[in-house]
């Protein structure tokens, strides 16, 4: 992956790397995730995520914008259906929909699956 790699390209590369068919690339989305490690076991807690557009440059975006202190940012490959379901359940009570930085597919407090 380089700064000029697009999100769709990275999805295909990840699927290939993990032995999954690139034909199913449309079923997956690359997500820009903000969160932090919490608790004694330092478990990841997602605060928000945004599905990246196919031609967005994830590594360039990460270089240009850093999360506030105490938070981290990472890229996650998620099933598109899962992200759409989370977005449909999301109710923004904090900003009453004023936060446009995360776009319409912003998901607050989405749980990440346990490892394994």
Could you give the CA distance from residue 47 to residue 106 in angstroms, rounded to a whole number? 10
Q: Are 90 and 107 in contact (CB under 8 A)?
A: yes
Q: What does the CA dihedral 96, 99, 102, 107 come to, rounded to 10 degrees?
A: -20
Residue 91: pLDDT band (50, 70, 90) is low
Residue 2 within a domain: no
Q: What is the reported pTM?
A: 0.70
List, for residues 93-107, the tens digit of each pLDDT value. Answer: 454 444 444 444 444
Q: Look at residue 109 and tell me if it is in a domain.
A: no
Q: Contact 83/51 with Cβ under 8 angstroms? A: yes
Which of the pair, 21 or 107, is modelled with greater confidence?
A: 21
Say if 91 falls within a structural domain: no
Domain around 57: 7-79
> DSSP string covering 39-84, please?
TTTTEEEEEEEEEPPTT--HHHHHHH--PPTT-EEEEEEEEHHHHH
| CATH number reported for the structural domain that contains residue 15 in this entry | 3.10.20.90
Give me the pLDDT at residue 115, please: 46
Q: What is the pLDDT of residue 64?
A: 81
Is residue 14, in this structure, part of any structural domain at all? yes
**pLDDT band (50, 70, 90) for residue 45:** very high
Q: Cβ of 60: how many Cβ atoms within 10 Å?
A: 13
Establish if 45 belongs to a structural domain: yes
- The whole-number pLDDT of residue 85 equals 86
88 in a structural domain: no
Please indicate, yes or no, if residue 112 is contained in any of the structural domains: no
Q: What is the pLDDT of residue 24?
A: 83
> CA–CA separation, 23 vs 1, rounded Å?
20
What is the tally of structural domains in the chain?
Answer: 1
Q: Examine residue 111 and state whether it is found in any structural domain, yes or no.
A: no
């Amino acid at each position: 992956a380089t700064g000029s790699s697009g999100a769709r390209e990275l999805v295909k590369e990840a699927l290939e790397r993990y032995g999954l068919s690139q034909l199913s690339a449309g079923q997956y989305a690359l997500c820009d995730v903000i969160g932090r490690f919490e608790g004694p076991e330092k478990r990841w807690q997602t605060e928000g995520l945004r599905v990246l557009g196919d031609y967005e440059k994830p590594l360039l975006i990460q270089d240009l914008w850093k999360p506030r202190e105490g938070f981290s940012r990472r890229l996650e490959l998620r099933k598109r259906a899962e992200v759409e379901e989370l977005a449909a359940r999301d109710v923004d009570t904090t900003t009453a929909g004023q936060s446009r930085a995360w776009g319409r597919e912003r998901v607050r407090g989405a749980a990440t699956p346990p490892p394994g």
